[in-house]
Chain A
């Protein structure tokens, strides 16, 4: 079942300076990452983005995940360097109809001379902050045995 995204992620999604990436896997299982600036939150709390390139590996990876019950990842790197990973299920794709055409018009009126392969709707299933500082602190708290001794050794002067 879907989850509601945290306030920080919602803010990062609305930040035009943030870098937004969709990660899928290809037929052989190799990861495919692509920057998708249009990734946004829709009124239903679902992620949505405009796939410009109809035959892109990302589009194929999303279709494959939708067909065979797989998941994909949305990664967001905010301007403040905090990053978030969201595990998503491709829910539906819009390839025609009024909602699709509204996005097509929006893209065209933004000045881009582009086509629109599809609009993807992704359901967030879970998320995690992946910022280094946050993960480092978590890691040391959770796995205290996984630390180098020299970091813990008391300097001779303080013995």
Chain B
């Protein structure tokens, strides 16, 4: 299956003597065995999609496909992971790892292949990361496509809070962002059938026996430590599971079901505000969509600079099917109204909404064709951006533990068109991608396009 490893677009070519070893090693790797033989004949390849969209940056296209297909590591690639330098531990919504594998990878242009341990989608062979002794390469069928670097970890990762917790479990890092997940469980899962169908938070929470809430003291202590490292982060980012108040948050007359979630973030943001003279600081919150009163409090009482509430899918019917809890609590239209209110408060462009790109094609209720899905998604995105709310998408990774596990994600061609469409809308509206740009989040191919 493997051809000789041959760097086409990279300068540091693997030595020919090592190529054979690489070839043999990859052929012997159990986790690169073909999944559904012939899958490559069923959809356009990376090269074909690249030729179809010559203006689409090849590295961003590669990232998109890697996020679609996943990665595996050769033993040689794993042997070059240095846990003293590279990030191998992470605690996040969908994935926790204290293993020997890199959490994620970066390309030569700084593009993040945000992976969080995504190994394969079950329908396609993953790309393979290999190492020639000098550098790591992303390969497909033995052919080296691009150099990759393993993410490095910040200095605080090896430290502990006074309460004895490893700091990496409190704050995680992306290239230029510190991420805090104060609520490690989502309350929609407490109510049968109300969790989002692509979401693996419940499974991850149970598997790793996490505490539902982080302590504010632990977060403050960890952020204080993290801020000692100059140049390590441009942003503080907050997100987590929904926190629903009352026995029946969906019932009437129960008070504000999101009051507790709002207080959680207000408290945390105020506590962290001390590090920035209680002024505004580069930051983003993704929460359940708060009402106007809550949004105003966040803006007026804290240093928060940008706000996101994820619609996940831009279609009212599909929102009801895929995100039943959100639909029941707030509704598709209500969610959109709250986003628009947020843009009025935080400023045009400082509010966006995230999509799990591709989930709109989930079976059996999703759109029947990629063309229909694209048209519907972009037309809804256009209506939101008119009100200053822009839309970002990530590549749907079908996660173990999610209701949708086993589904097949769309073609690379679809993701290329989706990214181009969303980027085009954002540019036409003259909105910068700063709040979710390539080195803060790194999970959105459409905002990677914003770099030029």
Residues of A within 8 A of B (CB): 2, 27, 55, 60, 63-64, 66-69, 89, 91-98, 100-101, 104-105, 108, 115-116, 118, 123
Contact = CB atoms under 8 A, between A and B. Distances in A.
Given A68-B57, A91-B11, A96 B108 contact: no
A101 B109 contact: no
A96 B442 CA distance: 12
Nearest to A55: B432
Interface of B: 9, 11, 57-60, 85, 106, 108-110, 147, 149, 151-152, 175-176, 229-232, 234, 432, 439, 451-452
Nearest to B12: A91
B451 A63 contact: yes
A118 B439 CA distance: 11
Contacts of B110: 93-96, 118
A24 B230 CA distance: 30
Contacts of A94: 110
B59 A67 contact: yes
Nearest to B176: A96
B439 A95 contact: yes
A66 B451 contact: no
A49 to B, nearest CB: 15
B108 A91 contact: yes
A123 B152 contact: no
Contacts of B151: 96-97
A108 B110 CA distance: 22
B109 A98 contact: no
A98 to B, nearest CB: 6
A67 B58 contact: yes
A55 B152 CA distance: 24
Given A67-B109, A94-B110, 18 more contacts: A55-B432, A60-B452, A63-B451, A63-B452, A67-B58, A67-B452, A91-B108, A92-B147, A95-B106, A96-B106, A96-B151, A96-B152, A96-B175, A96-B232, A97-B149, A97-B152, A104-B231, A105-B230
